[in-house]
Chains A and B, each alone.
Chain A
Amino acid sequence: DAGVTQSPTHLIKTRGQHVTLRCSPISGHKSVSWYQQVLGQGPQFIFQYYEKEERGRGNFPDRFSARQFPNYSSELNVNALLLGDSALYLCASRGQGLAGTFGSGTRLTVV
């Protein structure tokens, strides 16, 4: 079985640009969460979606948005990129259990 798939794996963008990150959950998992992990820090919660509805939002500016599609895949969008948005963006999917399965992340570098 495929795990959580994130794309792209690495990305370099310029300040002010827009980025879209994608996540495919484990088959059958209806919940997808997004986290931002700055180097040397723990992950910070950005969004959770369940059954295509937003179920939670972390303390991130409105430049960050997300959505979940009917097949439960998800996109994270970030507008007007800042240098401080450089981080590893993690997606986690969850089925019936309490623990999530994480993808390998997308490493975003803003220059």
Chain B
Amino acid sequence: SQKIEQNSEALNIQEGKTATLTCNYTNYSPAYLQWYRQDPGRGPVFLLLIRENEKEKRKERLKVTFDTTLKQSLFHITASQPADSATYLCALDEQKAGNNRKLIWGLGTSLAVNP
């Protein structure tokens, strides 16, 4: 069956440390993988997108890796801050081209950064 799995346990880390979140998928062939942040009662906010032919993407303190052999993406937040506390969601898009887009989402991982 098709599955997207993210760290099921909430992640608690100390301010300043690096948070690493995992997204594993089964029986999908994503052309793109996206990471979003979601705060309680709000819509997801786009953070980073990585293509199937890319290994790594960076944006400021954020880094995402994509291993299509392992069927895994890792999302890193370096020098974490309490303001980074939120739920982080990964989403797959199997469409390589065109305007028909459909995201398939994981359940999300809750991150708490303690001061």
Contact = CB atoms under 8 A, between A and B. Distances in A.
Interface stretch (A12-20, A42-50, A73-81): A42-50
Instruction: Assign chain B's interface to a size class.
Output: 20 to 34
**Residues of A contacting B: mostly:** strand
Interface in B45-70: 45-46, 49
A51 B100 CA distance: 11
A102 B44 contact: yes
Given A42-B106, A99-B34, A99-B49, A94 B101 contact: yes
Contacts of B79: none
Nearest to A9: B41
Interface residues of A, number: 29
Contact of A102 (B32, B43, B49, B106): B43
28 contacts: A4-B43, A31-B101, A33-B101, A42-B106, A43-B89, A43-B91, A45-B103, A48-B100, A50-B99, A55-B100, A55-B101, A56-B102, A58-B102, A92-B43, A98-B93, A98-B101, A99-B49, A100-B101, A100-B103, A102-B43, A102-B44, A102-B45, A102-B46, A103-B43, A104-B41, A104-B42, A105-B41, A105-B43
